[in-house]
Amino acid sequence: DAHREYLFSGIDAWRTVFDGQYKLTRHYPNEGDTLLYDISADPLENDNLAERAPDHVARLQQVLDDEAARARG
């Protein structure tokens, strides 16, 4: 079965990327709060992991940046 590696969403200046486990939400481009949740362990998004998991933030931020560049053409 074909599936997406990442799911993207956005409203106003907020952008979200979800990889099936981690969900990163940021004000784009890189202003304001950074929100990172492990959806499998925290489906109600109560525990923001952004400061404790900078590797996941950086990885998913790169995915958002790549998607933004692709969308701009």
Q: 51 or 33: which carries more pLDDT confidence?
A: 51
**CB distance 13 to 26 below 8 Å:** no
Q: How confident is the model at residue 72 (pLDDT cuts 50, 70, 90)?
A: confident
Sign of CA dihedral 30, 52, 7, 70: positive
Region 61-66: mean pLDDT is 92
What the block records as the tokens of 1 is 């079965």
Question: What percent of the chain stands above pLDDT 90?
Answer: 64
Residues 26-50 pLDDT 10s: 987 666 789 999 999 999 999 999 9
